[in-house]
Amino acid sequence: MTTEVRIVGQGLAGSLLGWSCERAGIPFTIEDPWPDSAQNSRLNVPASSVGAGIINPITGQRLVKSWRVDALLPVAIEMYQEIGDTVGQPFLFPYRLRRFFADQRERAVAREKWPRGDFAGFGKSLDDDGLWIEPAFRVDLSGLVVALRKRWQESGHWRTIELPGTSLAGGAGLTVQCIGSGELGQGVFNWAGLTSAKGELLEIETAAGAFDPQVILNRREWLVPLSASRALVGATVEPGVAANLPTEQARVSLEQAAAQLLGAAPFRTVSQRAGVRVIAPDKHPVIGRHPKKNSLGIFNALGSKGALLAPWLAQEWIAHLQSGRPVDPAVEVARFWPARPGMS
């Protein structure tokens, strides 16, 4: 029989690991310090309550396809649709994405890459102002976490963890830490060298017609519609910053970005959110067992691409639990071992 899995932390990572255990018939429990869904009112805001959940297949100033997107996207689509069908609430929303060139250099990069087929599967057209990219998606990360929390509270899989006090390193079988920026710089996986990058975004309101509700706009910053008149605008990136309180400076800079993306259309800021992304030294996520403590595992470092990465990572965990198959070395936490002296 497969070992019972104790999942500690229920953001996106914990949610999808729990979901995948449930589907695979692997016994599991899931714990988090906060049993309710009023997640934005507390100081330690999980990234999954903040993140916009955009899946953009072509990103960055060099306009590169997201890492393994061709293989990972079908896995993500299937998992989010399956969860939505099961709980009776959609979490995955398709869009087209208009990627404007921020400068002459980006235009030149696109013109060089387009004929080579570098955007194959996602680049729909190229013109002087930018690229049309399709498909792109938004995943309602916080809605998904809240819905699965309710499901598991009702089914008895869910427990409230006491902090401080409860050990994150014990359990009958395997304990997998899915704690995002919790305990960053401390704890049993400290040697992996995970770091933080604070991010902020705004929710804005406009008159209907100010943007196409089916289109994500992107020029360095992005605007993702939530409805005909509401949108999220983001996001700032502050490497090394672990605070998650919104700042005036970020609001001003995101309002400038919104004004640029919307042209002349007026808007008002409805709310502002800040959270912390977790990033590994090589920018890839981390999963797998502790090299010395076999009953401890991790699922973290989703960076800015948790919505795309987490479904496949959850599947990697399940394949490992079911057959003992090692997880993909590109994401295995053990790639950062041996540790720096004095760490274990």
Ligand X SMILES: Cc1cc2nc3c(=O)[nH]c(=O)nc-3n(C[C@H](O)[C@H](O)[C@H](O)COP(=O)(O)OP(=O)(O)OC[C@H]3O[C@@H](n4cnc5c(N)ncnc54)[C@H](O)[C@@H]3O)c2cc1C
Binding site for ligand X (CB under 6 A): 8-14, 32-34, 46-48, 50-54, 141, 161, 163, 168, 178-183, 199-201, 234-235, 275, 277, 300, 302, 304-308
Which residue, 107 or 277, is less far from ligand X as judged by CB?
277
Write down the least CB distance from residue 278 to ligand X, Å: 6
**Burial grade of 37 (CB within 10 A; 0-12, 13-18, 19 or more):** middle
Write down the least CB distance from residue 199 to ligand X, Å: 3
Write down the least CB distance from residue 1 to ligand X, Å: 26
Cα 157 to its chain centre, rounded Å, is 23
The CA-CA-CA angle for residues 325, 73, 32, to 5°, reads 65
DSSP letter string, 67-136: TTHHHHHHHHHHHHHHHHHHHTS--EEEEEEEEE-SSHHHHHHHHHHHHHTTTTTTEEEE-SSEEEEEEE
Write down the least CB distance from residue 335 to ligand X, Å: 18
Write down the least CB distance from residue 29 to ligand X, Å: 13
Write down the least CB distance from residue 256 to ligand X, Å: 17
Which residue, 109 or 242, is less far from ligand X as judged by CB?
242
Cα separation, 144 vs 191, whole angstroms: 31
- Do 7 and 17 touch, CB atoms closer than 8 A? yes
- Do 231 and 225 touch, CB atoms closer than 8 A? yes
Which residue, 105 or 293, is less far from ligand X as judged by CB?
293
Output phi, psi for 252, to 5 deg.
Answer: -65, -45
Task: Provide the residue type at 12 as one letter.
Answer: L
Which residue, 9 or 130, is less far from ligand X as judged by CB?
9
Which residue, 177 or 206, is less far from ligand X as judged by CB?
177
Count the neighbouring beta carbons within 10 Å of the beta carbon of residue 60.
11
Write down the least CB distance from residue 12 to ligand X, Å: 4
Cα separation, 154 vs 311, whole angstroms: 23
Which residue, 48 or 206, is less far from ligand X as judged by CB?
48
Write down the least CB distance from residue 274 to ligand X, Å: 7
Owner of token pair 């960055």: 60
Which residue, 126 or 312, is less far from ligand X as judged by CB?
312
Which residue, 206 or 236, is less far from ligand X as judged by CB?
236
Token pair in block for residue 13: 């990572």
Owner of token pair 């690229």: 131
- Do 77 and 92 touch, CB atoms closer than 8 A? yes
Task: Provide the residue type at 225 as one letter.
Answer: P
